[in-house]
Structure 1
Amino acid sequence: MQADLLAYGRQVLARQPFNGVVGATLEVFEAGTAELSLPLAAHLLQQDGFVHGGVLSYLADNALTYAGGSVLGKVLTSEFKINYLRPARDADRLVAVATVVGSGRTQAVCRCDIFLERAGERKLCAAAQGTIRKAE
């Protein structure tokens, strides 16, 4: 069943035109959790060489929504907040790990940590929390 959920999640991600620009990959998608990764590339950086905050927000929003969707089905983001903890740079890739904190019939509260990963080691660079609601 988990492999089916991951395959389905990857199909959904492939249908997101913006992800064609960004290039994230869904690594984990199972009940209560999701993980997206993104190799760093020049087109994702801002003028000072850091990953653009919008890219970090995109990863957080998608990871939060996947986590919420894993327990609710078809969903939309109701709201989310992100804290940028350190500049995102000097890494091979970003990894967004989201989990469901609590859920009911129509909404889930989820959190997401975004890590800089270099040579297999991770450093936290952003943290987000959001409310994901069942789509009508």
Structure 2
Amino acid sequence: MDDLQAFAQTILKSQPFSQLLGAELIRFESGKAELALRLTDTLKQQHGFAHGGVVSYLADNALTFAGGSVLGDAVTSEFKINYLRPAIGERLIARAESLHAGKQQAVCKCEIYAVDAQGVEKLCAVAQGTIVKV
């Protein structure tokens, strides 16, 4: 399992955009992935909550890590996101899991939470996507 986690960390570190945002891979195991990032002012929109693109990035990457954990090297083929409430807090966490995987693709779901200073999580978006083997 440590080798799998180290491999996933290498992939995240090789993504310049993920590094720019400060994303962290906090969980990676077969069929599951969890990404997080600190919600800084530079990642917010004019109303003070997380920009939709930041929430969408977390969903996309978490979905792909979850699918990739069962497929190997993989990319997102498509995904859909529903924003449920403004992402207001100190941190965002995306938890994704593979719902079904075949030889070439996996269908995954993701829940994105905003976490406040006291550690209280509020669901702010959900996503589902198709991840394909490269």
One fold, TM greater than 0.5? Answer: yes
Q: CA deviation at 1:117?
A: 1.3
AA partner of residue 97 (structure 2) = T
Aligned to 2:90: 92
Q: CA deviation at 1:20?
A: 2.0
Q: How many residues align?
A: 133
**Counterpart-to-counterpart distance in 2, 1:11 and 1:105:** 24
AA partner of residue 26 (structure 1) = L
Q: Once structures 1 and 2 are overlaid, which stretch shifts more, 117-126 or 69-78? A: 117-126
Q: CA deviation at 1:120?
A: 2.3
AA partner of residue 64 (structure 2) = T
**Counterpart-to-counterpart distance in 2, 1:94 and 1:54:** 13
Q: Of the candidates 113, 116, 120, which is equivalent to residue 115 of structure 1?
A: 113
Q: CA deviation at 1:88?
A: 0.7
Q: Once structures 1 and 2 are overlaid, which stretch shifts more, 17-26 or 69-78? A: 17-26
**Counterpart-to-counterpart distance in 2, 1:5 and 1:95:** 20
Aligned to 1:41: 40
2:119 matched to 1:132? no
Aligned to 1:67: 66
TM-score by length of 2: 0.97
**Counterpart-to-counterpart distance in 2, 1:22 and 1:87:** 19
**Counterpart-to-counterpart distance in 2, 1:108 and 1:20:** 26
TM-score by length of 1: 0.95
Q: CA deviation at 1:38?
A: 0.6
Aligned to 1:78: 77
**Counterpart-to-counterpart distance in 2, 1:6 and 1:75:** 16
Q: Structure 2: any 5+ residue segments left out of the alignment?
A: none
Q: CA deviation at 1:3?
A: 1.6
Q: Of the candidates 101, 111, 125, which is equivalent to residue 103 of structure 1?
A: 101
Percent pairwise identity: 58
AA partner of residue 122 (structure 1) = E
**Counterpart-to-counterpart distance in 1, 2:64 and 2:28:** 11
